[in-house]
């Protein structure tokens, strides 16, 4: 099967957690997976795992907050594959918990930039590629922690992200492009550990289990 005939999946935030688990599962199903993250070493390790199961991937180290870099990357994707069939967005910045009256302004800006503004930037640039697919799908993630106290910076950014996604979803209800919002069971990840360092991990799910459940949405 040539590159242009393959199903193409792009995973933003593929270096670890649910992103890495979904990338590995998509590769096992025959998708060529474009792995996006800042950490090159983690992407290389994931690529090794994908190759071990006979899958294929392209590594794309990228700062998703850099508009020029995102535009150039999307142009590269178009020139090579002409489309994206599945986009899974798991990239997230999780700041330290803080009372509302002690929020660090620099950390708030970084969180909003990564979680909301970068999501908008990606939607603008990836939407044309997804529309080139016969059944394009974009998958995002809800998080019920956003309404809890001390999660203000994360909650503000995540609510802004979800508003963007829900607006995009409502605008595409009568079109072939599907925008899916999944809500995984809380998982034992480094992001969650940052919020709840003393939590009993035995009571949490894991990225691999949740990835297989989310794949059901992708494969419908």
* pLDDT (tens place) for every residue of the chain, 220 residues total: 445 578 999 999 999 999 999 999 999 999 999 999 998 999 999 999 999 999 999 999 999 999 999 999 999 999 999 999 999 999 999 888 889 999 999 999 999 999 999 999 999 999 999 999 999 999 999 987 777 788 899 999 999 999 999 999 999 987 889 999 998 877 777 777 777 777 777 788 888 889 988 888 777 7
State the number of CA atoms in the 13 A half-sphere of 48 facing the CB: 6
pLDDT given for residue 3 in this prediction: 54
Distance set, CA 102 to CA 93, 98, 166, 212 (Å):
18, 6, 30, 39
Q: Which domain holds residue 184?
A: 3-218
Print the SS3 string covering the chain.
Answer: CCHHHCCEEEEECCCCHHHHHHHHHHHHCCCEEEEEECCHHHHHHHHHHHHHCCCEEEEEECCCCCHHHHHHHHHHHHHHHCCCCEEEECCCCCCCCECHHHCCHHHHHHHHHHHHHHHHHHHHHHHHHHCCCCCCEEEEECCHHHHCCCEHHHHHHHHHHHHHHHHHHHHCCCCCCEEEEECCCCECCHHHHHHCCCCCHHHCECHHHHHHHHHHHHCC
pLDDT given for residue 175 in this prediction: 81
pLDDT given for residue 4 in this prediction: 57
CATH number at residue 7: 3.40.50.720
Q: What is the pTM of this model?
A: 0.91
Q: How many domains does the chain have?
A: 1
């Amino acid at each position: 099967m040539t590159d242009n005939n393959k199903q193409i999946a792009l995973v933003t935030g593929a270096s670890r957690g649910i992103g890495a688990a979904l990338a590995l599962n998509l590769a096992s199903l025959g998708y060529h997976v474009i792995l996006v993250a800042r950490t090159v070493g983690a992407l290389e390790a994931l690529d090794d795992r994908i190759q071990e199961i006979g899958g294929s991937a392209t590594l794309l180290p990228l700062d998703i907050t850099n508009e020029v870099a995102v535009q150039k990357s999307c142009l590269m994707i178009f020139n090579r594959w002409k489309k994206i069939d599945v986009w899974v967005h798991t990239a997230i910045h999780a700041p330290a918990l803080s009372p509302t009256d002690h929020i660090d302004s620099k950390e708030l800006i970084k969180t909003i930039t990564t979680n909301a503004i970068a999501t908008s930037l990606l939607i603008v640039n990836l939407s044309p590629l997804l529309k080139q697919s016969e059944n394009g799908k974009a998958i995002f993630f809800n998080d019920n922690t956003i309404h809890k106290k001390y999660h203000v910076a994360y909650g503000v950014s995540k609510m802004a992200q979800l508003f963007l996604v829900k607006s995009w979803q409502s605008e595409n209800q009568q079109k072939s492009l599907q925008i899916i919002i999944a809500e995984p069971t809380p998982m034992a990840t480094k992001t969650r550990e940052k919020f709840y360092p003393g939590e009993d991990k035995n009571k949490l799910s894991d990225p691999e289990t949740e990835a297989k459940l989310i794949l059901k949405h992708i494969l419908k």
